[in-house]
Amino acid sequence: MIQQQVGGLRPRSININGSDEDLAEFAKLLAGKIVVYKLIESGGEPLAHNLSGFNKKSYVISKRNEDDSRVSTMFSVPHMKQGAGLSEVEQVVVGAFDCGYEDDMHVKCDKILLKFSGEYKG
């Protein structure tokens, strides 16, 4: 795995399948602060049964600024519990999650939408 941090933004991980030498050579091409590491275990627990289908959700969170513009970001959850709807997620996320990627931006969101809903306009 390679962790890349550019210009003070939050670090992002890049998963590359290859040898340690391949990772080191690829890391030389990347800008910013680079950390190469091994992903030994990703955690979780095995499911007792097969899922009938994945329930991936993508959300857009935002906050309206004083000048009527919005700062926003998006996050995705690979699999939500079938009973977890937008209202349950909203109770946990709104007012708690940051809308920006910058380390010094701690703007708590005031709105959440499903990315692929009709309400989200891009």
Q: Give me the average pLDDT of each 10-residue run along the chain (122 residues).
A: 82 78 82 81 65 76 87 83 84 86 75 75 52
Distances (CA, A) of 90 to 13, 34, 109: 27, 34, 10
Start-end of H helices in the chain: 20-27, 86-93
Could you give the 3-state DSSP secondary structure of residue 94? coil
Predicted confidence at residue 100, as pLDDT, reads: 72
